[in-house]
């Protein structure tokens, strides 16, 4: 499971010309589920995401989490995070989870952020829709999380 977390001043998702979701300061998260990913992967990613201290404190150090600043989250499903570009010029997406499984894990990840980690304002795109995403990356700060790497780190 992969998440690309961007620290943003604002972010929004537009579908068919209508704004579906909009947040102020917080995280814009592109979320992708891969073949074999489980709820345990979603739990690892949600916990790490909720605790991520990448907002500036009074000493200008990245030391504050979402909860410290009252930040919001916008989560957008993105199967293309599992693009395999090793051969040719057309990416393969066979490493992405099948849509039904990916959607279930996406919804579970969002549930965990809201209900387990207490992030009050968690908004979403629409799974499988053609979305237009707009954001202002603040920093810029972009963090890539991979549940396989997080599991390896726990074993080391």
Separation between Cα atoms, residue 67 and residue 47, nearest integer Å = 13
Separation between Cα atoms, residue 13 and residue 124, nearest integer Å = 8
Active site residue 80: yes
Write down the catalytic residue from 79, 109, 123, 124: 79
Write down the catalytic residue from 49, 78, 123, 124: 78
The answer to whether the CB of 12 falls within 8 A of the CB of 23 is: yes
Token pair in block for residue 50? 């909720």
Active site residue 94: no
Active site residue 79: yes
Separation between Cα atoms, residue 41 and residue 92, nearest integer Å = 22
151: how many CB neighbours lie within 10 A of its CB?
12
Catalytic residues: 78-80
């Amino acid at each position: 499971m992969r998440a690309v977390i961007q620290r943003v001043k604002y972010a929004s998702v537009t579908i068919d010309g209508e704004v579906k979701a909009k947040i102020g300061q917080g995280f814009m998260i592109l979320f992708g589920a891969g073949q074999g990913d489980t709820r345990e992967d979603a739990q690892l990613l949600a916990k790490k995401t909720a605790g991520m201290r990448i907002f500036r404190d009074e000493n200008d150090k990245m030391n504050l989490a979402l909860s410290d600043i009252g930040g919001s989250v916008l989560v957008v499903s993105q199967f293309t995070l599992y693009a395999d570009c090793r051969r040719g010029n057309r990416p393969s997406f066979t490493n992405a989870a099948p849509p039904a499984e990916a959607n279930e894990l996406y919804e579970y990840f969002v549930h965990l952020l809201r209900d387990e980690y207490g992030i009050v304002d968690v908004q979403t795109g629409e799974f499988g829709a053609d979305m237009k995403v707009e954001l202002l990356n603040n920093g810029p700060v972009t963090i890539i999380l991979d549940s396989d790497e997080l599991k390896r780190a726990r074993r080391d």
